[in-house]
Structure 1
């Protein structure tokens, strides 16, 4: 069986001129629904795909050949066979174990499968570790969109067992969907038609808005060209304006000094700052890195919880009573300096309160809280080492760019799967 699978070997979209300078402003009047874990997410996104009439755009870091992956495959095949345009952009590392047969069934049905930056194994080990397509976005018929941290894998369901992940996404219906649709088209390399209400802006929209109204949403993203720091800047802006409360739930927490300073400064001026970190990590190194920063934050009044029920995979935060963010970006060097990421910023009191209540349940019932009087043993040494490690990782793309094997390649190419 000959199967054409388009491989995009690049850390940018194929048509860089279309995708490198997209800025999206605040859109009001959206309906935003918080989806916690696969139990809430998969039924919503699968139902939307089953009802698709024209188009499904999907980006994901991980797709496994498990019960979730097979259900998704069946839905996409059925949609393509009834004439829906289906584009699936998959990361070459996170989806690197997908079999030719699995991809072949999708391609034969008419699904356009794009594998981002694939690479052959060396001695049985995958080599394409860095600059991953880490976004998780689904847009259906340009009318409903999903974005968050949930991959298409069974480990986002509670029945997976003790290693099941705790995670979040949102469903959006309303004007902001047009921005997510436009972005997903541009990033997938498809032709983007100009549309009313969008333009390439000379001045970027503000990361913070004081506009009145509920359901305000703004799409932000991180790439390796002109939007390297947008997500980090959004956190810094929000933290600098915090007056009442801050809650950050993040799987992999090892931010740079600017973000750490704003977290500490918020706590110093009386803001109740809570961090929910991994207590049962799926990557032990991530927990060790985060703990290097605990003493620095605890001494200024930051409350740190470690979620111990199962691995935390969330990437969410809220500030005061209105501002929230949900997306794919962790607060670590991979997400803030290397990967392609996307978040939404949300100004909505009802959503903020719902997210706050869900995170409070985690903090109160399923976490251990680091003691305030934790002895600050070697905290200066830990901070110094952490600072050095972060900035080595931050400049890693430039360092690896000197090596021919890591130079960004923008040219798409076609690959034929083996006959089976």
Structure 2
């Protein structure tokens, strides 16, 4: 009986070794393809000319509860107002960002924060170490008057989504009544060459964004070598139930990811139109199913994505969804000549969101993110105006055009498809 089983064991062993060899070879090939695409993209971008794109002026408008809202579509406009807010601070400044370049714009923010701290303003700063790995670490040296928290590169020796999420949030809070939230990182590149979206709320509702910052700051530090605990911040005062916006926060430490469900619920309610603008479109099965169901019931579903983003691999993974999206009634518009990095949506002229989360796994179930949700026709009207402005710089992609792409492109998309759940 043992002699009969021995050939089967040898056969199974050979099959297992062959499977491992093929799997390893495939994985190596995928990595090589992604590296080649990335290198080619770096070379291509060096020769890309700066191209202007349409923007909408950030004119403040009234929303409920005695608040005013401004929506920014041009980085320099945003940076000017953020710096003015920091320079006018009297009590405290909370500043959080994912990427903070050590260029002219980055230095302006650093100087403004230090100057505020030197005149007695309490300044608290958070930045993500991974997002700034290419920045000279000396740039992040601050005087003791600035309270600094670094989101660690490695949160735990044991890999897990819960302990490895990046701090992808971008927010600024000044004196409890002036707050900013959106997709803009800090740097000269984003001042005039990227089309992004950020919001500013002035009034009591700024406390909603402040609360998101305070809750993160007060979490116990983690990491392989966690720093000493920083002084805790007080919770903001006057946060009532009747607020014009709700800030949804993905928090890996707490295993809480409400932004994905916020989108699913809003899409499920849609009756007339869904307008999405996203930098990286790599939706999961539930999100695609929700969009398809909306299109089937007659909802006009439109999505703006960059024709070429700053992450070429994400582009190739995203393109793997285009055929099914287009064939099931979703309309895709490719933003031309510049990176569109916005993370916004508006539905039926009523519901809207502006925030930091992309429609991909990293944002919806991996990173620390924050999105403001509105149920306000005034906000929806403004975002629809911005969407229409962006469409003037887009080319609509049709199903026939997409299916006529080269066989090499189709094969590359299929070859990289197993990586979609990672992004």
TM-score class normalised by the smaller sequence:
0.7 to 0.9
5+ residue gaps, structure 2, are 1-62, 156-162, 219-230
Indicate the structure with greater helix content.
2
The alignment covers a number of residue pairs equal to: 338
SS at match of 2:107: helix
1:197, 1:51 → 2: CA distance?
Answer: 22
Is the 8 Å Cα contact of residues 309 and 367 (structure 1) preserved in structure 2? Answer: no
1:26-45 to 2 correspondences below 5 Å: 28-45=65-82
- 1:349 is displaced (CA, Å) by 1.5
Among 124, 146, 150, the alignment partner of 1:87 is 124
- 1:229 is displaced (CA, Å) by 2.7
Matched, 1:193 2:220: no
Moved more, 368-377 or 261-270: 368-377
Q: Render the CA deviation track for 1:355-400: whole Å, top value 9, x for unaligned.
A: 111111212x21111114456689x999998985444x38xxxxxx
1:265-414 to 2 correspondences below 5 Å: 265-363=293-391, 365-374=392-401, 389-391=419-421, 393=422
- Give the RMSD, CA atoms, in angstroms: 2.9
Is the 8 Å Cα contact of residues 207 and 236 (structure 2) preserved in structure 1? Answer: no
Call closer, same or farther: CA 1:268–1:191 in 2, change over 3 Å: same
TM-score, normalised via structure 2 length: 0.73
Among 174, 195, 205, the alignment partner of 1:176 is 205
SS at match of 2:271: coil
Among 168, 184, 187, the alignment partner of 1:150 is 184
Moved more, 75-84 or 91-100: 91-100
SS at match of 1:288: helix
- 1:93 is displaced (CA, Å) by 1.1
Call closer, same or farther: CA 1:57–1:34 in 2, change over 3 Å: same
SS at match of 2:85: helix
SS at match of 1:74: helix
1:59, 1:37 → 2: CA distance?
Answer: 19
Call closer, same or farther: CA 1:371–1:97 in 2, change over 3 Å: closer
Is the 8 Å Cα contact of residues 293 and 382 (structure 1) preserved in structure 2? Answer: no
- 1:29 is displaced (CA, Å) by 4.4
Matched, 1:258 2:283: no
1:68-83 to 2 correspondences below 5 Å: 68-83=105-120
Is the 8 Å Cα contact of residues 57 and 139 (structure 1) preserved in structure 2? Answer: yes
Is the 8 Å Cα contact of residues 222 and 228 (structure 1) preserved in structure 2? Answer: yes
Matched, 1:165 2:194: yes
Larger radius of gyration: 2
SS at match of 2:252: coil
TM-score, normalised via structure 1 length: 0.74
SS at match of 1:147: strand
5+ residue gaps, structure 1, are 1-25, 121-128, 159-163, 200-204, 206-210, 395-420
Call closer, same or farther: CA 1:343–1:73 in 2, change over 3 Å: same
Among 66, 72, 89, the alignment partner of 1:52 is 89
- 1:174 is displaced (CA, Å) by 2.4
